[in-house]
Amino acid sequence: MQTTWPRLNSRCCAGWLPTSDRTSLGADRSAYGATVTEPAGGPPTRRDLLRWAEALAGSARTGLGFTESLYERERYEEILHVAADIRAGADALAGREVTAATLVDEWMDTVGRGVSGYITPKVTVGAVVGNDDGELLLVQRADSGLWLYPTGWADVGYSAAEVVVKEVREETGIECEVVRPIAILDGMRLGFTGIPLYSLVFHCQMTGGRLRAHPLECSDVGFFAEGDLPDDTVLPDQWAEDAFMAIRGEPIEVRFDVPRNPAWRGSEA
């Protein structure tokens, strides 16, 4: 079974969109972290369009941040408009009204000079936290009512492991220590984000604290046994088995996205 570690955090996901052709996150939970196999050929999907648009926009904005040539700036801005047309078309397939001009303005606002303007994927972290009873820590999101392990942005000034501990403490009141990374995933490729994003998931062990849900982000928090996860847990069949194997100390491979061939339209094999 291929394991997908979804990521779900309202505070961390301004502009968060599914990359399947589904029109509503709330209506179809399979949009969260669904494992998707890309066809080697065939017509482009909405997910293809999103990925191409973001790749073009990222390259164009990076070029604008480094070039001193007026000619090159004009070419990069033209590419940015093409990317906006593609992205607006992809959003229209999901019933979202976003104009290409609005997208261009938003992207241009992120153009910086030199290294600070080099566009890279956002980075998030997730924590699979176990306790001495072999249970898994889950949070219920206040906005959706869905349950998932703690997640959050990788804040500046912290290592990935440090920010995992910080997110768990802030969202749940639980203190933990990081055991090891267990997944490194591309959110756009797997279909659980509409922006370029890498998700780093860590196995952690509870060391102290007490359960306390974040008053704004979480409706509830708790530890759950493997056979007793909440009904509204996000796709447990995709990741829970590996999570509990890690908690029990059983060996599992670090999950990552195998390189595609070709990268842009290749299969997942």
Q: Which residue has the tokens 């998707």?
A: 36
According to the model, what pLDDT value does residue 159 have?
96
Asked whether the beta carbons of 100 and 84 are under 8 A apart, the reply is yes
Residue 229 clears pLDDT 70, i.e. is over it: yes
Rg (alpha carbons) of the chain, rounded to whole number: 20
| Per-residue pLDDT reduced to its tens digit, 152-172 | 999 999 999 999 999 999 999
Residue 78 clears pLDDT 90, i.e. is over it: yes
Q: Which residue has the tokens 């061939």?
A: 261
Structure token pair of residue 35: 């494992």
More confident residue, 31 or 3: 3
Other CB atoms closer than 10 Å to residue 80's CB: what's the count? Answer: 23
| Per-residue pLDDT reduced to its tens digit, 98-126 | 899 999 999 999 899 988 889 999 999 99
User: Is residue 160 within a helix (H) or strand (E), and if so which, with residue range?
Assistant: helix 160-172
Q: List C-alpha distances in Å: 146 to 10, 33, 106.
A: 11, 13, 30
Express as a percent the part of the chain with pLDDT over 70. 82
Where do the structural domains in the chain lie, given as residue ranges? Answer: 35-117, 122-256
Residue 231 clears pLDDT 80, i.e. is over it: yes
**CA 125/CA 198 separation, integer angstroms:** 8
Asked whether the beta carbons of 167 and 152 are under 8 A apart, the reply is yes
Average pLDDT over residues 28-36: 38
| CATH number of the 122-256 domain | 3.90.79.10
Exposure class string for 24-57: b at 16+ Cβ within 10 A, else e: ebeeebebbbbbbebeeeeeebbbbbbbbbbbbb
Asked whether the beta carbons of 36 and 235 are under 8 A apart, the reply is no
User: Is residue 177 within a helix (H) or strand (E), and if so which, with residue range?
Assistant: strand 174-186
Q: Which amino acid is it at 199?
A: S
Three-class secondary structure assignment of 58-106: HHHHHHHHHCCCHHHHHHHHHHHHHHHHHHHHHHHHCCCCCCHHHHHHH
According to the model, what pLDDT value does residue 127 have?
97
Residue 70 clears pLDDT 90, i.e. is over it: yes
| Per-residue pLDDT reduced to its tens digit, 256-268 | 988 877 776 654 4
Residue 18 clears pLDDT 80, i.e. is over it: no
